Structure formats: structure tokens, C-alpha cells
Amino acid sequence: MELYELPLIEVAEKIRTKEVSPVEVTQSALARLEAVEPTLTAFVTVTPELALEQAKLAEKEIGGGNYRGPLHGIPLGVKDLYDTAGVKTTSSSAQRADYVPDADSASVAKLYDAGMVLIGKTHTHEFAYGATTPTTGNPWAPERTPGGSSGGSGAAVASGVVHVALGSDTGGSIRIPAALCGTVGLKPTFGRASRVGVASLSWSLDHVGPLSRNVIDSALVMAAMSGFDRRDPGTANVPVPDMVTGIDAGVAGKKIGIPVNYYTDRVAPEAAEAARTAAAEFEALGAELVEVEIPMAEHIVPTEWAIMMPEATAYHLDYLRNSPDKYTDEVRVLLETGAAQPATDYVNALRLRTLIQAAWKDMFSSIDVLLAPTVVAPATLRSDPFVRWADGSVEAATAAYVRLSAPANVTGLPSLSVPAGFNADGLPLGVQILGKPFAEPEILQLGYALEQSTDVVGKIAPVLAEVA
């Protein structure tokens, strides 16, 4: 078995005991990248020289007795929204085709401190403004979308190039590609981790977090990148918990909310079945299932878009005025639409968000977590980015995929997407576990229990088919 095929914790133990070197692990990752990248186009920029340099440094440090922990010497993919000193950060857009930052983003700097090795920068839907990442193929079916906007990160993890890749999540952009690519994806609580040095889509909805092959990988990386940062006024000055210790404590006695509305509306049968199967598994493990009604359901998606669109336009205003032709038509139109939105709509959306957050707090008073499908349907075709419903109607992929992930962004609650199975065509499906504020250890604990009781988490896509 190749090193890239092994779970992260097994690779980490081999590195710690010097059975293998970080250089060997990095070479395995680069070889896998070379094999699958022509099919997937997951990366904007590949950094083999830097990766080997960092791996050699890690090998020297470990050989000298300076082992930093289980992330030391582990390859990493980074969404191309995150600044990386000396390495292009394009946001997959012509607007920043030549942008090379002088400093690392806060998250990248922390993961470098943990000893991780940068393999390259992964594609995003342009400036994270979409949920399909048109540049990139899904490792399970390259003619289909990997989701977005962190589609390159999802494809890089699912294809085995890296164990972990960074994403961002404003309306579901970590969890959507996690579900569609068959990986784990963690959107933390709003304020858990700094967004300094990450291109913004919507500052009051943006979150940063990992996509990974296994739940414990996300726990390790999320803990490393978390913490208060006075440079980001959105971060919360709360302690960073140990997200790994106790992850195997089980789910006995946990009250799991099962929604009877919203997450059940206009959802493909196989996506709904994946959630029911996961709920039954949790019940078999000793959890209690509690039916709940999602409050203010009709206001969630309108509130998401009414906040996101003007905030995105405000961030892009100079580009929009001076070089609008450098955007794709899709993103330019969205930004122009945001510019036309009345300020009163934005203010009312902010007020609605406060009411939604209060209503969800009340709902969570009777449950520990909420379990729901991550996406409404499996991956759509890249050439036809629409969800086609049995009644003959169609729904644009971005709008469809965001529907079930947006609540965690509007409320700011943590949400973990975990692989839950495959449909008849072999396409991944995911379920998400939403928790109370700063309860990442709890949702990771439930995700780990589901992972250990099924055989769908941690699989690597074969990437056999070429794009038609």
C-alpha cells in the first residue's frame, strides 16, 4: 500500500517513529498528484520545490528530537483564497492572476507551525462565489462537479493527493464539496478561527476550516488553526479545546434532533435515505432521536443571500468599477446584483438573522445536535449544472446545494459533514451534524462514531475515467 493511501494518523505514527520520512510522504503525495491532476484539475498552483524543502526541514527537526505533533511532515492542500507568502493566491480569478502575498494567512501560518507541508493551492469557484467549481472534476466521476466553492480541496482529498485541505464556508463551501466528493468537512462556529489573510466573500458569514479523509484529521487540523486573533474582529476570545481526546466516547444518551421540515423539502430520495440510515445507526449506538421543527424556515435562504450579496459587492467594489471584464460573467452578474440591493433589505436581513439565531437557540434547548442531509442531491454534471427533479422542474446547482448548508452560516453554528454512502451510480452522499456554539468536540465525537460504525468514510476515489 502506498503512503498516500494510509490514514493520516498511521502516516503520522510512521513519521514519529522514523519508519518513514516526511520526504517520502511528500514524494508519495506528489506522485499521486501527477497521476490524477490531468483528469481533475484540482490545483491552481503546485509547489513541489517548496514541499520538498519543508519536508526536508521536518525530517531534520524530527531527527533532532523536535517532533511537533501528528501534523508534522503531513502534506496539505490550501484553497486559493488563503494567502501563502511567496506563492500565488489567485482566488481562481483573472482579477488576481499575478497576486503573490508577502505574508501567510493566519491559518496557514498556524499549520506551518504544526509542521505541515504545502503541496499546492487548490481551485475555488471564482472568489468562492458559487457551489460548483467549474475548473475541477469530481474524483468519483470527473464529468461531474466536485461541489464548491472549495471544490479543488474536496477533489484533492478524495483522490488521495492530500489527507487534509483547507476550505472556506460562507453558504456551505466546505460541506458541499465534502458531501459530493465523499470526504469529511468541518465548518466551525463563527469566530472559532481567524480569517486574516483569506479573501472574503461575506465577512459576517465567512468561516474557515478543513476538508479531510477522516473525522480525526479534521479534529487535529481544526484545533491547530483555531484561536482568537485581534486582527480579525469576528474571532471569539474563547479557549480552544482538545478536539481529539474523548472523540471516541460514543453517543449513548445524546439527543439527536431529526427535522420534520426544511431539510425534508425538495430533497432527492437517496439523500433523504442516507440521513435516515445515519439516524438509525445513531439510535442503534444508544442515542435518542427527537423530532424537531426548524423555526423560521422560510426566512433562512432569503436571509443568507440578502446578507451575502451586498457584503460580497462591498469587498469587490474597486475591482467591479475598474476591471469588471476580468470576472467570469456569472460572478460579475452576482456582484452587480449585490450593488443594486437596497440598504433596507440588508438591514432587515441582519435583523432577521438575529431572530433566526434566537429561535434556533430555543430549538437546541431540547437536543444536543441536529442531523440532516448535507446536500439535496448527488453531484450534477459539469456541463449541465442543474438539479433535475422528478416532476420535470430544474434548480440551479448553486442554489440547490446551498439550501441545506445555509442554516449553519446564518446561525453561525458548527456543522460537520460526514460521508454517509453512495447512490446507485456510485456518487457520494453526506450527512451533516450541527451543534451548539463552540461544540466542535461534540459534533466530531458523533461524526467519529458514525465513521467507526460504517465503511464509507476514508475511501479514496480511483479516478479512472477521463472527462468526456
What are the residue numbers of the active site?
79, 149, 173
Question: Assign residue 223 a region: left if phi > 0, alpha if psi is -120 to 50, beta otherwise?
Answer: alpha
User: What is the CB neighbour count within 10 angstroms for residue 154?
Assistant: 37
DSSP-derived 3-state class of residue 205: coil
CB contact burial 445-468 (16+ within 10 A = b; e otherwise): bbbbbbbeeeebbbbbbebeeeee
Residue 90 neighbours by CB under 8 Å, 6+ apart: 44, 45, 80, 96, 97, 99, 121
User: What is the CB neighbour count within 10 angstroms for residue 375?
Assistant: 33
Residue 445 neighbours by CB under 8 Å, 6+ apart: 246, 247, 248, 249, 250, 251
Please confirm whether the linkage preceding 107 is cis (ω < 30° from 0).
no
Q: Give the strand pairing for 255-259 and 369-373.
A: parallel
Strand partners, 255: 288
All cell numbers assigned to 365: 434547548
- Of 369, 379, 368, 395, the closest CA to residue 430 belongs to 379
CA 283 to chain centroid: 27
Question: What HEC string does 230-261 produce?
Answer: CCCCCCCCCCCCCCCCCCCCCCCCCEEEEECC
Half-sphere CA count of 61, side-chain side, radius 13 A: 20
Question: Phi and psi dihedrals of 43, rounded to 5?
Answer: -110, 135
CB–CB of 105/82 below 8 Å?
yes
